[in-house]
C-alpha cells in the first residue's frame, strides 16, 4: 500500500479562491474584513509566521495591520492595546502572535481579547462553546485538520482517533473536534506507557509532539490515516515532521507531508475565522 498524500498547501489554495469570492461580495456590500496582528518582540519564527498570515489575508481581500511592540513591553501596556482594538469597530479579528516575552502571561492576554474577535479560537469562551458543540471560532490548526479529513471524505464517525500530544493549541482541541464528529478518542502524551499499544490501534493518528521523525512505521496501523502536525528543523536546515514520512507512506492510507501539510491549513482557517467575525456569525459573548 502506498498512502495518498493530503497536500495542505493545495487545499488551502482552493479555500482561498472560495474565500476571495466571499470577501469580494462583502466588500461590494460595504464590509471589508480586517485582521489586526500584534507582534511583541523580534522572534524570527514569529515574524515569518506573521508575514505568511499577512500575505494570505491580502490574497483573499482581507485587510490587515501589524502592531509591533518591543520585547520590553509590559503586560499592562499590551492589555491597554488589546482593549483599544476590542473597542475599534473597524477591527474584526485580533491575533496576538505567540510566544510572548516571559514577563507577559499568555493566558491573561488570550482572555483579554473580546470573544467576538478571537479569531485564534483560544479564548475560554470559544473553547467552552467548542466543547459543547456550539457555534464559535474554532482553534485554527485543529479546524484545519478536520477540514483536511473531510476534504477526502475520510470517515470519522465510529473511528478510533489517537492523538499524541496534549497541548491547549492542538492536542486537546483536535481531540474534542473529533469527538464532536463521533470518533472514539484516545489521548497519549509523554507519560503514556507503551505508546505503540495505542497508536497501532488508531484508524486516525494525529502526531503533535514536536520530535522529529519520532513516529516510525511500526507505530502505525495498516491503512490508518496519519496527520503530522510537527514542524522540526534538522541540523541540515531541512524541515521535517513528527512522523517518519517515508515509513508512513508505505503503511498508511492517507498521510500529510511536512512542509505543505497542516501548516498552510492553519493560516487558511484563520482567514475563515476572520471572515466569520466580520460577518458577525459567531454566537459568542462580547
Cα 12 to chain centroid distance, Å, stands at 12
Name the pairing type of β-strands 239-240 and 232-233.
antiparallel
Residues 191 and 234 in one domain: yes
Catalytic option among 118, 120, 203, 228: 120
d(CA 213, CA 265): 21
Residue 213 inside a domain? The answer is: yes
Q: Hey, is 205 helix, strand or coil?
A: strand
Give me the domain span that covers residue 102.
29-114
**Binding-site residues from annotation:** 165-167, 231
CATH code assigned at 85 = 3.40.50.10860
Phi, psi dihedral angles at 146 (to 5 degrees): -60, -40
Residues 167 and 246 in one domain: yes
What local confidence, expressed as pLDDT, does residue 18 receive? 98
Residue 259 inside a domain? The answer is: yes
Q: How many CA atoms are closer than 13 Å to the CA of 168, on its beta-carbon side?
A: 12
Residues 173 and 253 in one domain: yes
d(CA 216, CA 71): 39
Assess contact for 121 and 282: CB atoms under 8 A.
no
**Binding-site residues from annotation for NADP(+):** 165-167, 231
Its pTM stands at: 0.95
Name the pairing type of β-strands 93-96 and 225-228.
unpaired
Catalytic option among 97, 159, 242, 244: 97
Q: What is the DSSP string of 60-95?
A: HT-EEEEEEE-TT--HHHHHHHHHHHHH-TT--EEE
What local confidence, expressed as pLDDT, does residue 13 receive? 98
What local confidence, expressed as pLDDT, does residue 286 receive? 47
Assess contact for 35 and 57: CB atoms under 8 A.
yes
d(CA 84, CA 183): 41
- In the chain, the number of structural domains is 2
Residues 163 and 259 in one domain: yes
Query: Which of 97, 114, 131 lies at the terminal end of a domain, its last residue?
Result: 114
Residue 125 inside a domain? The answer is: no
What local confidence, expressed as pLDDT, does residue 1 receive? 75
State pLDDT tens for residues 139-197: 999 999 999 999 999 999 999 999 999 999 999 999 999 999 999 999 999 999 999 99
Nearest to 39 by CA among 89, 116, 99, 115: 99
120 as an active site residue: the answer is yes
CATH code assigned at 223 = 3.40.50.720
Query: Which residues of the chain fall short of a pLDDT of 70?
Result: 281-286
Residues 66 and 101 in one domain: yes
Q: How many CA atoms are closer than 13 Å to the CA of 233, on its beta-carbon side?
A: 3
Residues 170 and 247 in one domain: yes
Catalytic option among 13, 20, 28, 53: 53
Residue 276 inside a domain? The answer is: no
97 as an active site residue: the answer is yes
176 as an active site residue: the answer is no
Residues 145 and 88 in one domain: no
Amino acid at each position: 500500500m502506498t498512502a495518498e498524500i493530503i497536500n495542505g498547501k493545495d487545499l488551502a489554495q482552493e479555500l482561498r479562491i472560495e474565500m476571495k469570492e466571499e470577501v469580494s461580495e462583502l466588500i461590494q456590500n460595504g464590509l471589508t474584513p480586517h485582521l489586526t496582528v500584534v507582534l511583541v518582540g523580534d522572534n524570527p519564527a514569529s515574524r515569518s509566521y506573521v508575514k505568511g498570515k499577512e500575505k494570505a489575508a491580502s490574497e483573499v481581500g482581507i485587510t490587515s495591520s501589524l502592531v509591533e511592540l518591543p520585547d520590553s513591553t509590559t503586560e499592562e501596556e499590551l492589555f491597554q492595546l488589546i482593549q483599544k482594538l476590542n473597542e475599534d469597530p473597524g477591527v474584526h479579528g485580533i491575533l496576538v502572535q505567540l510566544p510572548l516575552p516571559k514577563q507577559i502571561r499568555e493566558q491573561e492576554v488570550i482572555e483579554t481579547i473580546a470573544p467576538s474577535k478571537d479569531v485564534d479560537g483560544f479564548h475560554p469562551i470559544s473553547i467552552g462553546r467548542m466543547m459543547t458543540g456550539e457555534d464559535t471560532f474554532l482553534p485554527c490548526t485543529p479546524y484545519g485538520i478536520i477540514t483536511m479529513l473531510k476534504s477526502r471524505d475520510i470517515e470519522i464517525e465510529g473511528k478510533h482517533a489517537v492523538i499524541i500530544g496534549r497541548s491547549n493549541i492542538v492536542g486537546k482541541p483536535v481531540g474534542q473536534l473529533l469527538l464532536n464528529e463521533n470518533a472514539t478518542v484516545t489521548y497519549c502524551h509523554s507519560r503514556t506507557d507503551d505508546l505503540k499499544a495505542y497508536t497501532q490501534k488508531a484508524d486516525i493518528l494525529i502526531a503533535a509532539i514536536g520530535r522529529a521523525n519520532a513516529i516510525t512505521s511500526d507505530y502505525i496501523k495498516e491503512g490508518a490515516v496519519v496527520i503530522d502536525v510537527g514542524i522540526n528543523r534538522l541540523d541540515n536546515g531541512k524541515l521535517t515532521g513528527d512522523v517518519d514520512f517515508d515509513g508512513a507512506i508505505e503503511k498508511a492510507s492517507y498521510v500529510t507531508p511536512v512542509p505543505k501539510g497542516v501548516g498552510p491549513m492553519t493560516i487558511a482557517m484563520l482567514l475563515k475565522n476572520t471572515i466569520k467575525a466580520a460577518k458577525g456569525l459567531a454566537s459568542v459573548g462580547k
